[in-house]
Amino acid sequence: MAAAVVHPQFSVTSDQNQLHGLGMKAGNGDPLPDIGLLKPSTMDLPMDELRKRYNEDGYLWMKGILDKEKVMDMREQYFRFMTENGDTRILAEGTNPRNGIFSGEDWRNFLLPGALRVFNGLSDEGVFVDKVFKAHVADFYQKFKANAEEPLRDFVGELRQFQDPMLLKRTLLRCNVPGGETTPVHYDQIFLRAGPPTSITAWIPLGDCPLVGGGLMYLENSVTIGEKFEADFSEKSKSLTDEERISAFNKNMMAGGFLDRNAANFGKYWGRRWLVAHYEAGDVVFHNPFKIHASCRNESPEGIIRLSTDLRFVDQAKPFDERWLYEAYQDSDPNVASRQPQVAGRNGRM
């Protein structure tokens, strides 16, 4: 297996008792009636076992695969950037940027530009939006990606048996502030459908993220559901132009390219549990492009902001969605929802 630095100071538990009485909520605030825990994996497991878990579950939650201090440094630099030379007012006054304590301002001000703001009827404007555009090409973020890329690329290459693994240039930084509604139900292939479904996403929490901290949750056994949705969308889109067909925002899609605003109802409809986790800095969750996921409501009692980044890898020896070869939110980026010629507006389940 390709060499990777393992950082062993992390906890590994799948004790379902930690969910007792927790009362977790979906991103829109509705209680999640039936939840379970993600299964953690570690770098000391054989690659054959890791590959088996990924193929069966549609995800692989790897513990301690990145250096925790470098992850925390990235977190601190991001929040410093957001408060210096044009304060976004995201942090509570007088707090340490490394902690990322929320100010309590209107959560809508801190939605990521593009699909999430379209979904909530907001324009890509304001100090925070301007700072997000700049953060995606800032030196501190580019350095973090460069440091993370080699171990993750090598790991993904072996896991997925890629001939020539490559990190796509378009990566995303997201924050989930306490009390806010954030990423609704979706699967990633919706946004990468100009290529075959061979990409893999590495979701990286930039800081510790407890169960109530607004981390990602995954719908159990949902890869086949995502595949069914995409097959249905493809059938409906046969009469569209090629450009419209590959768009996550064509007339057959819900606003923002999402499947449902209400993750609790979505899980009940499909008879599946949502799987959650207590993530730690240094963890990475790899997931299948059809794996259905969403964000939990951040109910951190300390007011801690969840910060994360999405890195996506492909095998550049084979076809892939070349729209992701551009830095996110820059003038050349063809993927931003608010820049699409036609944006759908339905808000129910597809």
What are the structural domains of the chain? Answer: 30-339 (2.60.120.620)
Q: Give tens-digit pLDDT for 115-159.
A: 778 777 888 899 999 999 999 999 999 999 999 999 999 999 999
Nearest to 279 by CA among 173, 332, 207: 207
- What is the tens place of the pLDDT at every residue in 195-225? 999 999 999 999 999 999 999 999 999 999 9
Tell me how far apart the 2 most distant CA atoms of the chain are, in Å.
56
Say what the pLDDT of residue 6 is: 39
Helix axes 139-160, 47-57, angle to 10 degrees: 100
Query: Is the pLDDT assigned to residue 343 strictly greater than 80?
Result: no
pLDDT tens string 249-261: 777 777 668 899 9
Residue 175: beta bridge partners?
307
Q: Kindly report the number of other CB atoms within 10 A of residue 231's CB atom.
A: 10
Beta strand segments in 146-257, E: 165-167, 172-176, 200-205, 216-219
Token digits of residue 251 = 């007339």
CB atoms within 10 A of CB 37: 18
Six token digits for residue 12 = 């590994």
Instruction: Give the rounded percent of residues in the chain with a pLDDT score beyond 70.
Output: 90
Burial class of residue 125 in the structure, from the number of CB atoms within 10 Å of its CB (0-12 exposed, 13-18 middle, 19+ buried): exposed
pLDDT bin (cut points 50, 70, 90) of residue 15 is low
Strand segments (E) across the chain: 35-37, 40-41, 59-62, 165-167, 172-176, 200-205, 216-219, 274-276, 284-287, 293-295, 306-315
The pLDDT value given to residue 301: 96
In this predicted structure, the answer to whether residue 39 has a pLDDT above a threshold of 50 is yes
Residue range 182-194: average pLDDT? Answer: 94
Determine the average pLDDT of the residues in 272-296.
98
pTM value is 0.91
Mean pLDDT, residues 301-306 taken together: 98
Count H helices and E strands in the chain, helices first: 8, 11
Give the pLDDT mean for 318-340: 88
Question: Residue 3 burial (CB < 10 Å; 0-12/13-18/19+)?
Answer: exposed
Q: In the structure encoding, which two tokens stand for residue 83, read together? A: 């408060």
Which residues, 6 or more positions from 101, have their beta carbon under 8 angstroms from its beta carbon? 91, 92, 95, 302, 303, 304, 305
